[in-house]
Every structure is written in C-alpha cells, then in structure tokens.
Structure 1
Amino acid sequence: MKYIVISGVKNRIFMYLLCISCFSTISCGDFLDVVPDNTPTVDHAFKTRYQAERFLYGCFSFLPNFADAGSNPAMLGGDETWYIDPVDGMNPRLWYIARGAQGTNSPLANYWASEQNQTAYSLNGGKALFTALSDCNIFLENIHKPYDLYDEERTRWIAEVKFLKAYYHFWLFRMYGPIPLIKENLPLSAKGEEAQRYREPINEVAEYIVSLLDEAVEDLPLLIEDQTNELGRPTKPIALAIKAQVLTLVASPLFNGNPDYSAIVDDRNIALFPQAYSNEKWQKAADALKVAIDVAHEAGHKLYDFSFTNPANAALLNEKTILAMQVRGAATEQWNEEIIWGSSESNTLALQRACHPVFFVAQNGGGLNRTFAPTLQVVEQFYTKNGVPIEEDKAWIGVDPMEIKTATAADKYYIRENHPTIQLHFDRESRFYGSIMFDGGTLYGNSRITSDNNMWVTDLLAGKVGGGGNPVQRYPSTGYICKKWLHFRSAVPDNNASFSAHRYAFPIIRLADLYLMYAEALNETLSSPTDEVYYYIDLVRARTGLTNVVESWRDHAIDANKPSTKDGMQEIIRRERLNELAFEGARFWDLKRWKLAETYMNRPVRGLNVRGETPEEFYRVTEIYPLTYSKKDYLWPLKQSTLLTNRKLVQNLGWN
C-alpha cells in the first residue's frame, strides 16, 4: 500500500490509500507498456463512483511537484539560482544538472522511468510518467463501468484524464524530444519485441498532444465553480494554455529545422527531428495563443493588481512599494486572477524557507535557509528604471555598476537610507526590487505590512546576523536572496525561528506568460513588428510602472530603433520574459527552446564575495562555478538500461 499525494486538487483529498499492488505492471522502463495483471482487479476498481474517483485522483498524483527544487529541474538546473555545498533545507539533487552531473547510468530528473518505486519520486527526482499514461488509459477504458456515476460527471472526468494524458506527454516531450506515444495500452499477451515502442517524430508527438487537448477542451468547464474544493483541476483556459505552449515549443529553434539532430534516425529509417524550418508553425502557435488569451479573459483572468487585491494595505503604502509587489504578488497571491493554472499541492513552504532572510541570531538555528540565491548574471539582467537593459541605457554609459554609493532619503523604499551599496542596486525597474534581496535592500512583509516606513532591511555582509557563512549550510552563496517566492504575509517572530508560512498555489502558468508568448509568436510571423506585438508586451510592462517599448527605447536606449525591427523585437521580448518570469521555471525551458542555453550557460556562475565583512570586500565579483553546456544538454538522456532492454529506442544526441 502506498500513500499518494494528490497534486493540483485543493483541500478535498490530500491523500488516498491506493492499492498499487492490485495493478502489477511490466516495467515501464523496459517496455513502456503498463497493463494490469488481471482484469477482475480493474473491474473492481471501477465498480462504483467512489472507487473510480480514487483511480481518478491516482492519475492526478503523477503531476510533478512544481515548487520542489529537488523534483522540478527548472528550479535549479540552470544558471538562474545557485546553492551552497553542503546545503541545508531544500533537496539539492537536481542542482547537479547545472553542475554537469547528468548521465545515462542514473539520469537526474528521470521522468522516463523512476528506479524502484513507480508512483513516488525516485532518488533522482523523477516520476515514471509512462506509468501515469498507462493508468490514464486504464481509466479511459473502464470509466463507463461505475453504475452510480452520472453522465455529466463522467464526461468531465474523461476530459480531465485526457488533459492529464496530454500534459504527461508534453512534460516528457519538452525533456526528451521524440517520445513513444501511449495512445492505448498494449494487450496482456504482448511480450518481448511486440511490447516495445518506438520514439515518434517531433511533429507527430505535437499533433497527438494537441489532439488530446482539443478533445479535452470540449468538456472541461470554463472556470471552477466549487472553489473551495476544486481549484487546480483542469479548465478550458488551462488546456488551451498548454496547447499554446506545445505549439510554441514546436515552432521554436530547438525543434523547428534544427540541423544538430539530423542524424537522429531510428531503425525504421525515420528521422525524428524535422530538418526544414516552417514559419507556419509560428502562425499556428500565434493563433493558439490568441484563442487561449481570449478564453482566459472570458473566464475572468486578468493581470494581477496588488492595489485591487489588497486595497487596505495598498492605501497605506508608497507607490514604489506597490509596484515592487506587482510581480511578486502575481506569483504568490493565492489563486489571484492572473494565475491560469496553479498547483495547490506543491509545497511552497520549503521554497519560502529558502527565501526568507535572517534578522536575529536566534533565527540562524531554525529552518530559515535563505539558500535560494539568484546569480549575479540574473541580477544584472533586470532593466533600469527607464525600462531598458543596463548595457543599452544611455544614462548608464560610463557608470561602473560595482561602484559603491550611499543611499539617500529618495531611495528609502528600496534601499536603507545612508546605507552603502553598489550602483547596480540603484535606479532599477520595480520587478528587480520585487524579486531580489540584496545587502541594504528593503523587505515589505514579515508582519510589517501596515506601513512601509519601517520595513525590514537585509544585512548580508559577513559578520552580520544574516550574512555569508553563518552558518555555513544556510546562507546565500551569491550574496543575493530570491524575494519573489516569499509571500508578504509569511512571517517569523522576532528572536524566534518559528516560521509561519502563508501558503499559495505555485503558478504553473499565468496570463503574463501567455501575453509574452503571443507577442513572441506573432513577431516571428511578421517581417517587422506591428502595434499588436507591442500591445501585449506593453500590458505586462505597464503593470510594473514601465513605459511602452517604443517610447522607452526612443527616449533612453543607445539604439532607439531597436523595437522597429523583427530581430530587435525578438531580443526585447526574450529579455522581457526573462525578467517577468524570473525564478518561475520559464528561463530554464526558454533558453533551451531558443537554442541559447549554450550561450548563457557556458559562462561562470558569478556572485559577490560573501566572506567580505566590509562593502569594499563584499562587493568584489567572484566566480563561483565554471558552468559548461554542450549540445547534448538540450535534451535528457535515456537511461542506458532502458536502451539495452528496448532496442527500438535511439539515444539522444551526445549521450551514447
């Protein structure tokens, strides 16, 4: 018997005793066909509505734990944040992807097939999603059997499982590229070679995922009416958003005419990656994104507004504090209207512990880890207050970002007055101040939420209470802490390590993500940007106080005409995604699909000298780790033992 934590279903059912032993399977890692060993057992599982519902939630249980850095490779597998070694608090296993420890003997984040336990996370941070797909098929084949299940509910459940089936294929597709399509389970009699499946070409995989989502959309609700019990379950906007993500991925450089994969051909002589670039794929992605946006609007989704959501708090705050809360709140405000899909069962407690600074000595001995540390390259990446990159801002020509400067009263909402810090921390966009904690930077929250005249200030120099190396396993390795994931209502008492976390649903996809994807896809279809391209990116910028793209570059950038060209706008949109969606997992997958990971992740991880006790010592740029990234790292390796068992499979580029 195994306990299954149900991810993505709020409150009603957190755990189910699921008798997995009743559904013995052929090893998913071996043959990718998961079938029950006897039909009567399956019949019993679908005898009544109650029993069928248990099986339904078993299908949900395979959803990844999105907020867990030890299970979601996008959290720590790239160059966005860095840990310490040894680390205390969060599981560091997938951090070793970034450190070059991926391999074929025991792949990290092995979602193709976990090791011993097919339903729980393996030691290397993956679930066996081919087992999940087989369970989805079992459900779809048998859901007609419960005698006491009303047709309306049956129809919705079928749509939900089709959505899950599509999403599990998508998760694998994004990781591995070509994958076997588990359209139906193999018969019980299938043995040996007949039980083995081929990886299917990129285009076929995408078409199948899209077809499942199209079927699911028809019978999913527009929105969740029973919000107490069902938030997180699939809706039309969720399914359409995932469809748009799939089509955007297929249109992107990694999968759209990528010559690097020309030699990946199976023994049927079928090329698994298309070699001809297709601009039509971008048009399909743009069309799907526009539909997803329109339906999301119909369901009531809109960009998060802190003043609207928290009017009593906002009435007492300065505009600068409110603007800094815009993107932070969009990610952490429980079920706010911007979140299209959130994971209510993903554990944000551990994530918040890793983002909470220490203000008293007593807190050093507790669970406040402050180890989720943004890298210096990401700190530099955010715009200036003028809405353009530092390296493109005319006002920053000749300015040394590492020069020490003392804050004045005009800076007090973001930096403690009279505090010495570097120029890099001054005059930045509000998303920077809502996402990054730095030495001398302010923190709105931790019980001080009725005013911003006495906000907490982070002291990160060595020798200070919250500074580097104290204790060795709980400090930010880069000299920065991620502020974005810390809900402003989460708090720890003075001189106490008892952390009271305000929980929230981890945002899997939110409306701003769709807006920026649509601007990207639309721009790719055109010879030069149109007003519609600018419109959707400007909506996202305006929410955090930035002027529109054209005006910002015209007034402040070295190259005032950059937004007028397709290539220039492509670069701007990509930078906008990196800033808006920082630390949400988007960067990891975006850099891969853009084929830019080799550029970004072949540079050393940089941070500040966390052992420095004076500003002059602390603000010395330090190379922390020499990142390396090659073409093989764009896709996951198949485990060697899987290839030996199933000769129909071919390994991904560079992993032989």
Structure 2
Amino acid sequence: MVAELDKAAAVLPLTPQSNGLNADREYGRATKGMALAVKARLLLYAASPLYNGNTEMAGFRNADGTALISQSYSQEKWQRAADAAKAVIDLNLYSLYKDPGGDPVKSVQGALMEPWNNEQIFVRKDNSLWDWDVNAMPRQAGGWCGIAATQEQVDAYFMKDGRSIRESSLYSETGFTDVNGVQVFNMYINREPRFYAAITYNNSIFQGGNMSAPAPVSFFISGPNGKNGHPTDWSKTGYLIRKNVGPQTNAGSGGNGQHQNRPLVLFRLGEIYLDYAEALNEYDPGNAGILKYLNLVRERAGIPQYGAGDNPLQVPAGQAEMRTKIRAERRVELAFEYHRWFDIRRWKIAPQVMGDLHGMNINQNNNSFYQRIVAVKHLWLPGSYWFPISQYELDRGRLVVQNPGW
C-alpha cells in the first residue's frame, strides 16, 4: 500500500488543476498531499502496539504458518511514520486554520466548517453532512437529539488554563454560575475553547435549524429536548455534539442550508501534527519537534502551551508522560472526527476505556439532573479489534483465515 501511495504521490498535482473554467469542480480531487496524508496515517497505525510486536497475536497466522501480525517490535516503524507525517508538513501547502478575528472557538470550528481552507488536505465534496447536522441538533432546532457525547469525553476536555480537570484548580462540580441570565453548572465553566465548540450541554446557548433566536438548551426529563417529550429523539447522556454541526441546516425545510457547500474533512493538518508528535516521541524522545507541533495545536486552540508562550505549563517529563499528553491532546483535538475508535484499538487500550459509559441523570429535572449515571454499557470482546470476515469469503477463498475471536 505504501508503494502504491508513493507512486500516486509522484504523479499527482500539488493542487487541483483546472483550465480556468469551473475551477471549483476540481476541488476534492486527488492531490499529492492526499496521497502522502493517507500514507502517514497508514504508517502510524502500522507502528502502533496492535500491529508492532503484538505477541498476543502470535497464533494469528496464514494457512502456511506466516504470522499476520508482526511478532517483533521495530522502532524503525515509528521513524517511518514520523518521516511520512513530516513529508506532508514539508509540502508547505497547509496551515492551521485561524479565525480572522482571533476567536479560538471560531478557529477550531472553522477548521472543519470553513470550506476549502488551507488546513484541509483530503475532503469529500459530495457528502451527507446535512444528516449529521440534523441528528446532532436539539429538538428545539428541529433536530433529532440523536448524536450524544459521553461524560468521559466531556471530562477529557481541558480547562482554560490548559490543565486537565484532575489537575486544574479551576474545575468544580458544585454550584452554578450565572451566564447572561442562565444558570450554568460549574462543571461547564472555565473550560477550554474546544469544549464550547464541540459540546452542547444543559443550558448552553444554541441557535440553528429552525430556531429564530438563540436559546438555552435543556435536557431535563420534562424539558424541550428531554426524554418525556419524544419516544426516541432524546440524548441518553444529557449532551449533544456541536462540533461540525452547520447551524444553517434547517430540518423543517428538508435539510437545506450550509451543508450544500461544506466538504466533509477526512484529513487535516491538525491530525498530521499530532501524528508526527506521537511517532517522533516513540523513536526519538526529547526531540524538539515533539513539543513544537504539540504546542502549535494547543496554541490554535487558545490554551497554554508546554514550556512556551504565555502562562506556560511544565514540559512533560520523559517519554511516558509525553505519550500520555499527546494521547490526551489527540482525544480532544480530533474528537468526533472518526479517530477515537481506531486509536483505542491501535494503542490496545480499548478494554480499559470501554465498559460503562456515563452521562448526566436524564431522568431528573432541576439540580438532580447534574449527577453521573451509567448511560450505556459496552461489552468489549477481544474479537472486537477487527471485523469478522464473512463466511461467504471464507468458503470461496479457502486460504483466507478468520480474524481472531470470531
């Protein structure tokens, strides 16, 4: 696959080519950057614990006895992954999107929402983002309350001082703060900009769909988006996802609006920066590039950096602590962009992070709502690392070996 991607990158244009007529029709077509970005993600996965020296998969072999998962750890795989990510960066074609007005919330929103900006490497022009919008919007906006964030993801966001909720003195789970006449639970106060760009929480202000004016969103059981108001369209956790939701998409008029010219972002520079930092930390811990690219992501997000900028945080001590910080950053920066499920498997942490997932108490009104309860139970089985191969394929290709656990 890497060889094929290299061949493609060698002949693809740096930017979409056109003859000057209907140039926008070329947007979304394959470029050199696309091929190199796919290669970078591929090699990052190949270097990760699930595939790199995973002795738990020693019995996963072809019919001829060939091991299908590498049984010996190779640090060189991390170097290849780092080099591949750096190759995308060194094209000097892409830059992190920043709001012209300097608003960090709008900056992180715009990376996905602002069509064809310079952070976007690989996008899908024809997509169903309007469906995402309607599912993620509250019923107040004509949406379906269908895509809920977990409490675990809410807890993953940093505070505005750049520290986790476990490290920051700003975090509180008691009391309320008046925000423009609305009582907001202190759990949601003083959070980082990416939290406000990504999560619709109880009494947060929202305007979208068929709403004519901004209004607080309530997930209380008897509230306008609560469990009692509809047989199916309610959040199991008391949250909805706000990230990459086009507020102009109007469910009441058949889904017309902002989605019409918004591409679905599949690869962007923020991911490549974090790919590079992760791979570099594994094969060359202490390399200055690790902090450089990790901090570029944090700087755009509007939070303090490690060892640099205003109010700097202490630089992570050693490879293991840096690994933890990079993974935490990745969970927040790339949330709801189709990465987490792959990350927890390639890192082999899925058994630890699956299981009981929580939310607020959606069966209550008023202050009783604000308590963690189990929202859903996920049973993790080892076979879940990969999909099963269908019996049809096994029958027609007698040399095909079933994936482990199936």
**Alignment TM-score > 0.5, same fold:** yes
Distance in 1, Cα, partners of 2:228 & 2:69 = 48
The answer to whether residue 363 in structure 2 is matched with residue 611 in structure 1 is: yes
Matched AA of 1:540:
V
1:146-174: CA deviation from partner (whole Å, max 9, x where unpaired): xxxxxxxxxxxxxxxxxxxxxxxxxxxxx
Residue 471 (structure 1) aligned to one of 221, 230, 250: 230
| Equivalent of residue 583 in structure 1, options 300, 323, 336 | 336
Task: Give 1:342's aligned residue.
Answer: 123
Could you tell me which residue of structure 2 aligns to residue 514 of structure 1?
A: 272
Correspondence list, 1:90-129, <5 A = none
Query: Which residue does the alignment assign to 2:258?
Result: 502
- Which SS does the other structure have where 1:359 is aligned? helix
Q: Unpaired runs of 5+ in structure 1?
A: 1-208, 308-313, 408-415
Q: CA deviation at 1:456?
A: 3.4
Note closer, same or farther for the CA distance 1:377–1:542 as it changes in structure 2 (3 Å cut).
same
2:377 aligned partner? 626
- Which of residues 357, 382, 403 is equivalent to 1:652? 403
Residue of structure 1 in register with 2:186 after alignment: 423
What does residue range 166-185 of structure 1 map to in structure 2 within 5 Å?
Answer: none
Residue in 1 that maps onto 2:98: 305
- In the other structure, the counterpart of 2:5 is 213
Q: In structure 2, which of residues 271, 295, 307 is the aligned counterpart of residue 538 of structure 1?
A: 295
SS at match of 2:37: helix
- Give the partner amino acid of 1:567: A
Say if 2:98 and 2:104, in contact at 8 Å, map to a contact too.
Answer: no
- The equivalent residue for 2:147 is 372
Find out whether 1:328 has 2:109 as its counterpart: yes
The match for 1:39 is none
Q: Is the 8 A contact 1:333 1:487 kept in 2?
A: no
- 2: CA distance between counterparts of 1:406 and 1:598? 37
Query: Would you say the 8 A contact 2:305–2:312 is kept in 1?
Result: no
Partner Cα distance (1:247, 1:339) in 2: 20
- Give the Cα separation in 2 of the matches to 1:552 and 1:632: 45
Give the counterpart letter for 1:545 in structure 2.
G
Measured in 1, the distance between the counterparts of 2:108 and 2:197 equals 7
Residue 636 (structure 1) shift: 1.3
Give me the whole-angstrom Cα distance separating, in 2, the residues matched to 1:605 and 1:467: 19
SS of the residue 1:246 aligns to: helix
Identical-pair percentage: 30
Partner SS, residue 258 of structure 2: coil
After superposition, the Cα gap between the structure-2 partners of 1:631 and 1:554, relative to the gap in structure 1 and judged at 3 Å, is farther
Alignment of 1:135-214 (within 5 A): 209-214=1-6
SS in 1 for 2:140: coil
Deviates further, 627-636 or 269-278: 627-636
The one-letter code matched in structure 2 to 1:635 is W
Q: Show the counterpart of 2:176.
A: 405
Shift in CA distance, 440/324, structure 1 to aligned 2, threshold 3 Å? same
Shift of 1:474: 1.2
Match status 1:277 vs 2:73 = yes
Q: Distance in 2 between matches of 1:547 and 1:448?
A: 35
How is 1:522-533 mapped onto 2 (pairs within 5 angstroms)?
522-526=280-284, 528-533=285-290
Q: Look up the equivalent residue of 1:379 and give its one-letter code.
A: V
Aligned partners of 1:373, 1:637: CA distance in 2, in Å? 27
**Is the 8 Å Cα contact of residues 304 and 312 (structure 2) preserved in structure 1?**
no
CA shift at 1:395, angstroms?
A: 4.4
Query: Closer, same or farther in 2 for the Cα pair 1:304/1:446, shift >3 Å?
Result: farther
Retained in 2: the 8 A contact 1:386–1:552? no
Structure 1 distance, partners of 2:215, 2:298, is 27
Aligned mate of 1:548, from 302, 305, 314: 305
Q: CA RMSD in A?
A: 2.3
Amino acid at match of 1:537: L
Partner of 2:57: 261
- 222 and 267 in structure 1: CA distance in 2 versus 1, 3 angstrom threshold: same
- Deviation track 1:387-407 (CA, whole Å, cap 9, x = no partner) reads 1211122444xx4x2x23132
Quote the Cα distance in structure 2 between the aligned partners of 1:327 and 1:278.
35
Matched letter for residue 583 of structure 1? F
Find out whether 1:569 has 2:362 as its counterpart: no
User: In structure 2, how many angstroms separate the alpha carbons of the residues matched to 1:565 and 1:242?
Assistant: 29
Q: What one-letter code is carried by the residue in structure 2 that aligns with 1:565?
A: G
**1:395–1:481 Cα change, 3 Å:** closer
**How far apart are residue 626 of structure 1 and its match?**
1.7
Alignment gaps of 5+ in structure 2: none
Q: Are the equivalent residues in 1 in contact too, given 2:306–2:312 (CA < 8 A)?
A: no
Distance in 1 separating the partners of 2:234 and 2:312: 40
Residue 608 to residue 448, structure 1, CA distance change in 2 (3 Å): closer
**Structure 2 length normalisation: TM-score?**
0.92
Q: Does 1:641 align with 2:392?
A: yes
Q: What does residue 381 of structure 1 align with?
A: 156
Shift, 1:446, TM fit: 5.7
How much has 1:497 moved relative to structure 2?
Answer: 6.3
Name the CA distance, whole Å, in 1 between partners of 2:24 and 2:323. 41
